[in-house]
Amino acid sequence: MAVPFMVVAIAAGLGSIVAWYLGGTWWKYRGPRVVTCPENQRPAGVTVDALHVIATGLGKPPQLRLDSCSRWPEKAGCGQECLRQIEASPQGCLVRNILLNWYDGKDCYSCGMLIGVFSLAGAKPAVLRADGVSVEWSEIPAEQLQETLETGHPICFACHTARKMLREHRELVSGLSESTGRPAR
């Protein structure tokens, strides 16, 4: 017996709505975050178990639980009270959003060019640490992000790449200033 087209269309429509909701929930809770650990009042890098959020959140508020924490394994048995911070501001403690806000309207410390709008999937600016070494976002542990941003400077992708090339392959580079990574004058 053939299934009426209308039943298939309704099932596909409902399935699309559920998939849209689950995808949005997953996107909202994925990615590394910075929270203040309630135990020691210091920054901690955490990730939420996004798959658990999806599994527990259909038709009711999702149950958050940590997937990882920079204070584990020593404090793995904690009560995860830091989840309240994520519940209160899921986007505000997300590392990528903290970084996007930090770069907003800033100029490159080396060349002075406006960093401007950039894609998270493309060439991203870096951070010039207080020790003069430029680092990519992925090289900064989440629990050290705030301190690094407070003492560091924004640096564009081109200047970061030049500095990194000078640092790692000095023998291949000529004509660049060691202090700025830009052409020497």
Residue finishing a domain among 46, 72, 89: 89
Which stretches in the chain have pLDDT values below 70? 1-3, 22-23, 172-185
Task: Measure the CA–CA gap between 160 and 115, rounded to whole angstroms.
Answer: 12
Q: What per-residue confidence (pLDDT) applies to 73?
A: 87
Q: What per-residue confidence (pLDDT) applies to 147?
A: 93
Residues 110 and 78 reside in one and the same domain: no
Per the structure, the complete domain to which residue 4 belongs is given by 1-89
Residues 35 and 14 reside in one and the same domain: yes
Tell me how far CA of residue 49 lies from CA of 21, 24, 29, 117, 130, in angstroms: 17, 14, 8, 30, 34
Residue finishing a domain among 89, 115, 133: 89
Task: Measure the CA–CA gap between 69 and 73, rounded to whole angstroms.
Answer: 8
Q: What per-residue confidence (pLDDT) applies to 141?
A: 92
Residues 130 and 153 reside in one and the same domain: yes
Residues 132-175: tens digit of each pLDDT: 899 998 899 989 999 999 999 999 998 998 888 887 777 766 66
Task: Measure the CA–CA gap between 107 and 99, rounded to whole angstroms.
Answer: 14
Residues 44 and 108 reside in one and the same domain: no
Tell me how far CA of residue 148 lies from CA of 5, 45, 92, 119, 142, in angstroms: 58, 14, 18, 22, 10
Q: What per-residue confidence (pLDDT) applies to 179?
A: 57
Residues 56 and 77 reside in one and the same domain: yes
Contacts of 21 (CB under 8 A, 6+ apart): 58
**What b/e readout covers 96-119, taking b as 16+ CB neighbours within 10 angstroms?**
eebbeebbeeeebbbeeeebeeee
Residue finishing a domain among 57, 89, 121: 89
Is 112 strand, coil or helix?
coil
If one counts every other C-beta atom within 10 angstroms of the C-beta of residue 35, the result is: 23
Instruction: Count up the domains in the chain and report the number.
Output: 2
